[in-house]
Amino acid sequence: MSHTDEEMAGLIESNGSGLRTHEAHSARMYDYLLGGKDNYPADQEAAEGAVASFPTLRTAARENRAFLGRAVRYVVEETGISQFLDIGSGLPTAHNVHQVAQRHDPDARVVYVDNDPIVLTHGRALLSTDDRTTVIERDIRDPRSILEDPEAKALLDFSKPVAVLAVAILHFITDEENPGDIVAQLRAALAPGSVLVLSHATAEISPETALGVQSAYRRQGVPLTLRDRAELTKLFDGFELVEPGIQVVSDWRATVPESERPSHAEVSWYGGIGRLV
């Protein structure tokens, strides 16, 4: 089902006035960086402030999105997993997880999770004709609520392998909120053979520009904590890393020649997949 801009605006308005569109939100900022239309002046201002510090941030966002597509294809084609839990999914755009997964396995099922009510409104409108896909409004900081959500449990069978995607989300979790514990709670609910897909922004490659982005996000009230490769590796505790391990997202199982890829400094984003054995 498709909706015009006017119809979607009406859907958002009808779903209540507490959407806090005057405050920047990471999902809508990411939508803006990817060239989407589902964002607001506060999101645009915050994103442009980050771009001023890191001019290739749009390139980094696009490369992360491409990594997500390659990771989903890997999961379907090389592990046979047909269940996906996409946490921090953001606003629907082109080449969503369900589109990529169902291209390779028509029976693939996807539960999208985000804490922005606008994501819920858009997602439910766009996915209303697909009974293999749903979107729930939950927060990664409360993994138990995700795992026990009735819609998630109705669509996914956690007694069988599931692919958990936490792509470009854990860098919005502070050290005090303990991202390692969040991942551990998710891991404990997964069957052997399940996989974890992570990507995470870093200051390890280009410290000055990356830390400028971190400051720009935090000035707008959006928490951003950059972590290095060792810290990201720690988040995969209990999982066996899939080759080629943790790489800059533009390099992970890249499909274009190295000469055509952006430099690592232009991306400053790591990604990888771990498998529960």
pLDDT at 92: 66
Alpha-carbon distances of 206 from 201, 265, 268, rounded to whole Å:
11, 5, 7
Query: 101: closest CA among 75, 122, 129?
Result: 75
CA dist 236 and 220 (Å) reads 30
CA dist 249 and 268 (Å) reads 8
Mean pLDDT by 10 residues, the chain (277 residues): 41 47 86 87 92 94 95 97 94 80 95 87 76 93 97 97 97 97 98 98 96 91 95 98 98 96 97 97
pLDDT at 8: 42
pTM: predicted TM-score of the whole model, two decimal places = 0.89
CA 49 to chain centre: 21
How many CB atoms neighbour CB 175 within 10 A?
10
Angle at CA 186, nearest 5°, toward 182 and 188?
115
Task: Judge residue 211's burial from the number of C-beta atoms within 10 Å of its C-beta, 0-12 exposed, 13-18 middle, 19 or more buried.
Answer: middle
Q: Which residues contact 67 (CB under 8 A, 6 or more apart)?
A: 167, 199, 249, 250, 252, 269, 271
pLDDT at 27: 82
pLDDT at 9: 44
pLDDT at 266: 97
